Amino acid sequence: MRRLRSSLEQHPPFTPLVLKAWIPLGLTSIVLAVLAIVLDSTPVLLASFVAGSIAGPVAFLVDFQYRTGLAALPPRSALLSGALVGGPLAVGVSALLESGFAPIGMNWSTVLIGPIEEFAKLLVPVALLGAHRVSQRAALLCAICSAASFQVIENLLTAVGTLHMQGAGASTAVLASRGLIGPFTHCMWTTTIALAWFGTRDYGMLRDVRVHRLLGWFVLVSLLHSLWDVSTGTHPQLLALALAGTAFVGTLLAHHAATAPTARRWARVRDSAADHERVLRELQERSLRP
């Protein structure tokens, strides 16, 4: 327990940068929503939905790069494949496989949502990696972008659906709540699996020993995902909060376990670069002295 606490203090699963990245987009979404209600403007309301939908994924990506450095100079093809193909495909596959499911809550169909959606978000990066079209790091980034795109589409669909059923105020509230928890759901779940599987080196998929740990990570994250969904439709509220809290804490711990090794390496790189810059600055200052 002491080692875990020390590791979490040194390399937390997220940093305050999440809020710094989320707040501008979140505030923009809220301001646009209020303006849309005042002006009774559908285009402004849709702009609010877009800003609110991307807030969570963007905050996660900014913070992930700061903590791990894995998103530096990303392969453009991997980003586009994940965002434009991986996410929409995952939404379509999930909708097809989940058609006819009961409303989310404490039932078996809800338990299946986690593995279905996590499987769907990995389809494109796995296909590209299996066809030797991308490197391990590119597959990882493709998976993250697939998750981010999936989350944006899901946020938009939820907001628009709530708008038609309950009005602008309710849809704005739903989107705000989804945006606030956004960095800790789809992006974090899929990234945790992808980090454990793909890794960061250009090894063949089947030769990477981390493939042998894929099933355990996939099952764990899928269960956390499903537990979160089960809590959403569960009553009484106390039980729902307990389930959601367990899923939330479990997600943070799993993500920490997956990212900590890379975060440690990246921290050493940042420290080394800072030391190098400090030495150069001192040398420049000395050279300017009379």
In this predicted structure, what is the pLDDT of residue 163? 82
Tell whether the model's pLDDT for residue 271 goes beyond 80.
no
CA–CA separation, 141 vs 78, rounded Å?
A: 7
Round the average pLDDT of the chain to a whole number and report it.
85
Q: What mean pLDDT is predicted for residues 78-86?
A: 94
Cα→Cα distances 34→12, 45, 46, 47, 211, Å: 35, 8, 12, 12, 48
Over the range 68-79, which residues count as b (16 or more CB within 10 Å of their CB) and which as e? bbbbeebeeebb
Model pLDDT, residue 205? 44
Q: What are 149's two structure tokens?
A: 């795109």
Q: Which domain holds residue 187?
A: 2-288
Task: Give residue 203's pLDDT.
Answer: 45
Structural domains of the chain, count = 1
| Two structure tokens written together for 170 | 């309710």
Q: What is the pLDDT of residue 280?
A: 54
The model's pTM is: 0.88
Q: How far apart are CA 263 and CA 259, in angstroms?
A: 6
Residues 133-160 as b/e (b if ≥16 CB within 10 A, e otherwise) read ebbbbbbbbbbbbbbbbbbbbbbbebbe
Task: Characterise 69 by phi-psi region: left (phi > 0), alpha (psi -120 to 50), beta (else).
Answer: left
Please name the amino acid found at residue 213. Answer: R
What does each C-alpha distance from 237 to 115, 178, 180, 225, 277 come to in angstroms?
A: 25, 18, 20, 19, 53
pLDDT tens by residue, 143-187: 999 999 999 999 999 988 888 888 877 888 888 888 888 889 999
State the average pLDDT over residues 184-206: 75
User: Within 13 Å of residue 140, how many CA atoms lie on the same side as its CB?
Assistant: 28
The beta strands (E) that lie in 151-210 are given as none
Question: Among 84-98, 129-143, 227-241, where is mean pLDDT lowest?
Answer: 129-143
